[in-house]
Amino acid sequence: MAYKFTGNFTQQESIPDAGIEAALAVLKHGRLHRYNVVEGEIAETSLLETEYAAYTGSKYCLAVASGGYALAAGLRAAGMAAGDKVMTNAFTLAPVPGAIANAGGVPIFVEVTEDLVMDLDDLHKKIDESGAKFLMLSHMRGHIVDMDALMAICNTANVIVIEDCAHTMGANWNGTPSGRHGLIGCYSTQTFKHINSGEGGLLITDDAEVMARATMLSGSYMLYGAHAAGAPAEAFADVRLDTPNCSGRMDNLRAAILRPQLAQLDEQGKRWNERYARMEEGLQSVAGLRLIPRPKEEYFVASSFQFTLPDWDAAKVHDVQQRCANRGVELKWFGADKPVGFTSRHDSWRYVEAHELPQTDRVLSGLMDMRLPLTFSLEDCDTLAAIIREEVGAVYQAAA
């Protein structure tokens, strides 16, 4: 009888003891709201912002309620007005076009390559065709496009770049941290991301006026002076009266949980990448299966694993998915004709005008995606790779 995998794909590691102790301290004193402090106290939220700004090398940082909130607030803070067109990856998750719609923008999808990054030739084309002046670049599943080439295109066309770094916290391109190429970088601290507060987000920028707008949008009232990593007071002179309060603050409890995790992020990133490497090793040279190449300029933090079954018939891809599921391996399929769980694609978001995206559709039709939590051991990764290898091989050979 074929062996089964019994691990839990949604089980995260526990919060570090230092985070639990910090959270208990906040619960005991009861000052969860970021602006509820006693004399001489710096809020946990403000401390997190200062530490994350230092980690990324940015001038300013704002902690907010979710990564999706950071994206929508980032667009508005960057000057996007209702009805403006915003380009984004055709391969992404629903919160990205959702944030564009939330901010009043109109999503314009750009094709994805077989390496799961934005197609720069199609980006050129979409800039010319749409006239869009904003790009929300999604580093989907941690795959980073050639940022030097992308920024050259966008700078020449005066396109403002907001980076969705939900899957690239701790990653970099050619030594520049993810989120530091564009005007704004946005991050998520949702449970399945690289640091975990259940929900939460961070927004960074070097632009004082942008940070002032984002801070007011987040619901700072007139308490923006309490932001140690915030914009200087003069940046708020007009912004504080012109910007609506769209409450989306992070609280001190979540910040307290996150700060010790941030201190461990680089070491945790190495552990994720060890697991990714074991999966890659175990799936080398499997007939019909394509691994995703990673360029030498890209340093990634691999909390998930992707491979494609290029040009496979949908029924056979579904067969692989089901056979793996029967043996305890949870693969998400981005080519399914209906959204399932967290997984959906551009043609299932009916609030966006339909796009013709033949290249993306072909790539997604064979794209398999798997979470890789740190609760999995390296030996677990060997087992996962062996099961996938066997089941892909069985379906491929039967078709041949």
What CATH number corresponds to the domain at position 329?
Answer: 3.90.1150.10
Position 6 in a domain: no
The reported pTM is 0.96
Are residues 216 and 94 both part of a single domain?
yes
Are residues 149 and 287 both part of a single domain?
no
Q: Output the CA–CA distances (angstroms, integers) from residue 33 to 233, 256, 307, 351, in the order listed.
A: 22, 12, 43, 35
Position 12 in a domain: no
What size, in residues, is the chain? Answer: 400
Which whole number is the average pLDDT over 9-23? 97
Position 314 in a domain: yes
Are residues 311 and 247 both part of a single domain?
no
The per-residue b/e assignment along 4-13, b for 16 or more CB within 10 angstroms, e otherwise, is ebebebeeee
3-state secondary structure of 296: coil
Are residues 219 and 319 both part of a single domain?
no
Position 388 in a domain: yes
- Residue 337: its pLDDT value, please? 86
Are residues 249 and 272 both part of a single domain?
no
Query: End of a domain among 248, 263, 278?
Result: 263
The sign one gets for the Cα dihedral 273, 277, 278, 279 is positive
3-state secondary structure of 299: strand
Q: How far apart are the first and last CA of the chain?
A: 24
Bridge partner list, 370: 305
Inform me whether the pLDDT recorded for 128 exceeds 90.
yes
Query: For the chain, what is the domain count?
Result: 2
Bridge partner list, 308: 290, 367
Query: End of a domain among 263, 282, 297?
Result: 263
Which whole number is the average pLDDT over 346-350? 92
Are residues 351 and 234 both part of a single domain?
no
Backbone Cα Rg of the chain: 21
Nearest 5°: the CA angle 345, 103, 348 is 15
Cα 89 to chain centroid distance, Å, stands at 12
- Residue 1: its pLDDT value, please? 54
Q: How far apart are CA 267 and CA 278, in angstroms?
A: 17
Are residues 289 and 215 both part of a single domain?
no
Are residues 279 and 354 both part of a single domain?
yes
Which whole number is the average pLDDT over 156-180? 98
Query: End of a domain among 214, 232, 263?
Result: 263
Q: How far apart are CA 193 and CA 203, in angstroms?
A: 15
Structure token pair of residue 15? 């919060």
Q: What percent of the chain has pLDDT over 70?
A: 100
Are residues 254 and 362 both part of a single domain?
no
Position 5 in a domain: no
pLDDT tens across 85-110, in order? 999 999 999 999 999 999 999 999 99
Are residues 258 and 271 both part of a single domain?
no
Q: What is the mean pLDDT of the chain?
A: 97
Q: What percent of the chain has pLDDT over 90?
A: 96
Inform me whether the pLDDT recorded for 135 exceeds 90.
yes
- Residue 2: its pLDDT value, please? 81
Residue 400's pLDDT band, with cuts at 50, 70 and 90, is confident
Which whole number is the average pLDDT over 368-394? 97
DSSP 216-242: HHHT-TT-GGG-TTS--GGGGTTHHHH
Are residues 200 and 182 both part of a single domain?
yes
Q: How far apart are CA 100 and CA 113, in angstroms?
A: 22
- Residue 399: its pLDDT value, please? 82
Q: How far apart are CA 303 and CA 260, in angstroms?
A: 19
pLDDT tens across 188-216, in order? 999 999 999 999 999 999 999 999 999 99
Structure token pair of residue 298? 């890209």
pLDDT tens across 294-344, in order? 999 999 999 999 999 999 999 999 999 999 999 999 999 999 988 899 899
Contact 289, 130 (CB under 8 A): no
**Boundaries of domain holding 218:** 17-263
H or E segment at 159? none
- Residue 371: its pLDDT value, please? 97
Which whole number is the average pLDDT over 115-135? 98
Nearest 5°: the CA angle 326, 331, 332 is 130
